[in-house]
Structure formats: structure tokens, C-alpha cells
A and B are shown apart, each in its own frame.
Chain A
Amino acid sequence: MITPSQTVGPFFGHALPYETGPDLVPEGYPGAITVTGRVFDGAGEPVPDALLELWLGETGTRGVLRRDGEGVSGFGRCATAPDGTYRFRTARPAGPYLALLVFARGLLCAVATRIYLQDGPDPLLDALDPERRATLLARADGDVHRFDVRLQGEGETVFLEF
């Protein structure tokens, strides 16, 4: 009896993104990190109309939509720029990874993946061959963690089902 999924389509930009959506923590929050990257399609072209949602695994003390309150919000939302770029400012998760959902025109169902901020023994990572495993590992450069999403083809990101 479950309701089927349908694509987010191309015209969500006036409805779903909100100004503080990409900011799970306020500017200057101690220990804040940036998680950024680009989304690519199967031809290696940037996806300019994707919507990404990041989930830290706990609600935190800061509101989701209005961002009222201090501290951390567990949820963020960011639309990609014309060059496929997204960017979140977040706290570090309690565990090694953040949960990511990607919506886009041409995706009838959202795809789910994980952004691992550190490598290490992990039930999911250890089940993947090295090339696939690498698609889930962010590259750290100081406080900036880079994570690209490749929807299809060479270097295709590992997507998850639960």
C-alpha cells in the first residue's frame, strides 16, 4: 500500500531550498567543517538541478527550517549550482559518516549514500572492493571535506538500500 516515489523534477527551486538550508551550524561554530563537492551524470557532466539533503543522525538543538536556537541542527538541504557544486557547513557527526540523499530531475527515486569523513573498519566499507569503497570516502583538506557524487558510470558512487 506504499505510495510510489516520483521525481522531484526540475522546478523545485522556488519551494524546497531555503536560505539557511546548507548551514547545519552557524558561521563561526567551533569545530565546524565544510562538506562540499559536485554532482555528475553518466556523461561526466555536472548536474545543475539536483537537491541534496544531509542528515547528521541526531536532531540537535537548532531548528531545521528557521534555524532558531543555538548549536547544531541535524539536517541540511542544498541545491546544486549550475556547475553541479553543493556545499554544507556542519558539525562533525558522532560516528564516521553523514547520510546523504540526492534528488534530481531524471531520478524517479532519490538515491541514498554516505559521506565517510574517515576511513577505518566499517561493516559497509569492508564489504566493498577498494575501488567502490573509495567512492564513499571524502577527501579532507583541513576543515574542508570534498565528496563528489557520480550518479552513473565510471567511479559511480555506491548507493544504498536499507
Chain B
Amino acid sequence: MTHPPNRSPGYRSTILRAPSRPAVALKADPDAIELTSPVFGHGEVGALDADLTRQHEGEPIGERIIVTGRVLDSSGRPIRNTLVEVWQANAAGRYAHAGDRHPAPPDPNFTGAGRCLTDHEGRYRFVTIKPGAYPWRNHPNAWRPAHIHFSVFGTAFTQRLVTQMYFPGDPLFPFDPIMQSVPDAAARERLVSAFDLDVTEPEWALGYRFDVVLGRTPMED
């Protein structure tokens, strides 16, 4: 099983929010509107939207990184012109969000939100700052491993995916109930980006590769 069960009591917020009844399987219906998805125009996303280090007057503090990869369908075909949105904490582990109370410094030069459209090969690319780990109140001494949130559309509303990208070798993985909610170890690995020297730019930024593979659309079954 790839996806985590919504009821995952180790992640406490699921206890009152996970549906208690199984989802109703919709019988094959070629007219179901969920088999289609919004189409995004190139004019809707600015060139700088994918560079999270250039959205303010100054440069954000932290380790500059490049995060790139492809959005693919389950057969490995690229998904073109699809919207990829990312958001994250700053280098100190603090979000530019009024609700974040972690006593780590905010960075006036870092909002931590970006978007881009995939190219003809399904490729996206962001320049950003490596996010910090941050504490949360799920259980005593709970810390989220450093991560970048991803939102991806695909070609059918049924493929819509929100996920999180982690960094290789993070010692917090075994203690994180959100990552560990994915039952299969091989599936968890697919949430971890790979350091890539070919993506790394000399004297400028480390590179990480992260591919996103969306589920089948029902009509492919």
C-alpha cells in the first residue's frame, strides 16, 4: 500500500479528522468530472515564482539549494504543463505563517512559497533554502524532519497529490509519525530526495532530485 491510512493514531490530529467509514468506490463512469483537471496557462506563473531566494530585497539566510525532478504518471510518462506548488519553513525551522509559534527567528527575506509549471519532459526546478527541522506538539519532544511541502495537479482530479519531500539521511525519520504513517518502507523512500552532484552548481548551491509519480487515473485500469 502506497498511501498512508488516514487513521494513523501516532499522528494525533488524525484521531478526530480521519473518516471512520471506508471511501465509497465509484464505479467506472467515463463522464465523471473527476477524470479531468484544470489546465494552467504559462502567463499565470511568473519566472521568479520558482526562485524562493529572490522574492525579497535581500537574500535569505541559510544553505541555498536547487530542487528539481519530474512529474510522471504511473507508467513513467511525463506530465506536462502541470502546476507544482511548494512551501516550507525557513533555515531556522520557522514558517512565515502567523500561526507558527516556534521560537526560531523569522527571516524577512524568505516567504517560503513557490510555484512553477512542468516543462515538456515533466520537469520542474526550484531554487530555495534548505529548511530547518522544527518542533511540534504531537508528543513530547516531537520534531519534524526537514521537509518541503509539494502540491501537484496531474491530468485528472483523482491524481491530485499533496505530499512532503524529505532530505536524505535525516536522523529524525524513525521518530516522525507523519513520514512513518506510510506503511511500506519502499514507499517511504520515495518521499526522500536524492543528493545529485549533476544538479549541484559549483560554488553556488547543492542539488537535490525528487520525482513525483502520480496515481493511475481510473480509466487506465
Residues of A that sit less than 8 Å from B by CB: 1-16, 41-43, 45, 47, 49, 53, 55-59, 63-66, 68, 73-75, 93, 95, 97-99, 101, 103-112, 123-124, 127-128, 151-153, 156-162
- The answer on a CB contact under 8 Å between A14 and B96 is yes
**Given that A99-B33, A110-B160 are known contacts, is A3 also in contact with B191, CB under 8 Å in the complex?**
yes
- The answer on a CB contact under 8 Å between A14 and B4 is no
Given contacts A1-B76, A68-B41, 12 further A-B contacts (CB under 8 A): A1-B190, A3-B211, A4-B4, A10-B99, A13-B99, A15-B87, A57-B33, A65-B115, A95-B33, A108-B8, A153-B20, A156-B20
Which residues of chain B come closer than 8 Å to A108, judged between CB atoms? 3-6, 8, 11, 14, 18, 178, 181
For the complex, is B19 an interface residue (Cβ under 8 Å from A)? yes
Instruction: Return the contact of B19 from the options A13, A55, A65, A111 (Cβ within 8 A).
Output: A111
Residues 86-108 of chain B, each 1 if its beta carbon lies under 8 Å from chain A, else 0: 11010000011111100000000
Which residues of chain B come closer than 8 Å to A5, judged between CB atoms? 3-4, 161-163
- The answer on a CB contact under 8 Å between B187 and A4 is yes
For the complex, is B149 an interface residue (Cβ under 8 Å from A)? yes
**Given that A106-B18, A159-B19 are known contacts, is A3 also in contact with B161, CB under 8 Å in the complex?**
yes
Instruction: Return the contact of B23 from the options A2, A42, A63, A159 (Cβ within 8 A).
Output: A159
Question: Which has the most chain A C-beta neighbours within 10 Å: B11, B14, B151, B162?
Answer: B162
- The answer on a CB contact under 8 Å between A15 and B26 is no
- The answer on a CB contact under 8 Å between B4 and A109 is yes
- Which listed segment binds A: B60-68, B198-206, B213-221? B213-221
For the complex, is B48 an interface residue (Cβ under 8 Å from A)? no
**Can you show 20 pairs from A to B with CB atoms below 8 A apart?**
A2-B74, A2-B190, A3-B163, A4-B4, A4-B163, A13-B98, A13-B99, A14-B87, A41-B17, A45-B16, A55-B157, A63-B43, A97-B33, A101-B157, A104-B17, A106-B13, A106-B14, A111-B19, A151-B17, A152-B19
- The answer on a CB contact under 8 Å between A93 and B40 is no
- The answer on a CB contact under 8 Å between A75 and B38 is yes
Q: In whole angstroms, what is the CA distance A3 to B3 when docked?
A: 8
- The answer on a CB contact under 8 Å between A152 and B16 is yes
Q: In whole angstroms, what is the CA distance A97 to B217 when docked?
A: 20
Q: In whole angstroms, what is the CA distance A15 to B200 when docked?
A: 26
A87: min CB distance to chain B, Å:
20
Residues of B that sit less than 8 Å from A by CB: 2-6, 8, 11, 13-21, 23-27, 29, 31-34, 36-41, 43-45, 74, 76, 83, 85-87, 89, 95-100, 111-113, 115, 149, 151, 157-158, 160-164, 178-179, 181-182, 187-188, 190-191, 211-215, 217-218
Q: In whole angstroms, what is the CA distance A7 to B3 when docked?
A: 11
CB-CB nearest in chain B for A69: B41
Instruction: Return the contact of B112 from the options A14, A68, A158 (Cβ within 8 A).
Output: A14
Q: In whole angstroms, what is the CA distance A55 to B100 when docked?
A: 30
CB-CB nearest in chain B for A75: B38
- The answer on a CB contact under 8 Å between A68 and B149 is no
B99: min CB distance to chain A, Å:
6
Instruction: Return the contact of A159 from the options B24, B31, B38, B214 (Cβ within 8 A).
Output: B24
A107: min CB distance to chain B, Å:
6
- The answer on a CB contact under 8 Å between B16 and A106 is yes
Which residues of chain A come closer than 8 Å to B163, judged between CB atoms? 3-6
- The answer on a CB contact under 8 Å between B111 and A111 is no
Which residues of chain B come closer than 8 Å to A6, judged between CB atoms? 4, 149, 162-164, 178-179, 181-182, 191
A114: min CB distance to chain B, Å:
8
Q: In whole angstroms, what is the CA distance A68 to B40 when docked?
A: 11
